[in-house]
Structure 1
């Protein structure tokens, strides 16, 4: 009986002496936290592959123009006369009627598209034709100074410039022709 009492007493007293071990926190995520946060290994691999694959850099039409590359026109100029094309350039302010009677490229003010290489060549042809016209006028009226002939021609021509066309005033400022 004595053993029994000792055992009973040991069984009752022993749990009071037993304590739980200290909890140690480890600086590592649990499996559940790792699943919730996701893995970036596949994203890192895709990013590394994309860095190795050369792709073209997207450029705006303005950046292409600065590089000297003319974008292809979206609509062909079929059925339009050179005068129609010049009127369109004047309305879009890509070209202006200068006070000296020549067309002037005003690309920085150009709106709704850009000038193509065909447009630039057309402006050069028109200016060359105007100079030839003034030389012919000078040969027909040799007593009149060329500057006077040119100013008279320019005054008459300015009346026929398309409404809203970009024109240079006598003081050198640019504006739209009012109709």
Structure 2
């Protein structure tokens, strides 16, 4: 999976009833809380002297980007002719391969402010998570962003069986992040 691109998912929302600075602060706080449940996403990839690649849970940090595209309206994003070109700018790591997780964050959230809305995206290293684990993280992040004090009772598993976790996860290919 090291040659695969980062997984990229996002959501388009109408402008919330709070200032953008407050929204960004709320999302940063929720991201921090979500990462405490999914600690490998705050690490980096590391290749040891034998050539094995690990996730080092070193708190190097996830990425968080706030961009302003306030001249762009939701209706323009939804216009079928313009979607690919416009939307790929809403993701931090478009066309980035997972091997780059040695020097780039394993996860980056990007908040793009629009004239009448906001686009919130996540890009996550595909060598570290699969689609199910990614959605478990994204749903946890969303619940925390909505201010839900009690996270869903649905088990939140984080795994990628092909990666060995270093920095506390060496002997456990699956991390139960409940």
Fold equivalence (TM over 0.5) = no
Q: Which has the higher helix share?
A: 1
Identify the TM-score tier after normalising by the shorter chain.
under 0.3
TM-score by length of 1: 0.23
Structure scoring higher RCO (CA < 8 A, sep ≥ 6) equals 2
Q: Which has the larger radius of gyration?
A: 1
TM-score by length of 2: 0.23
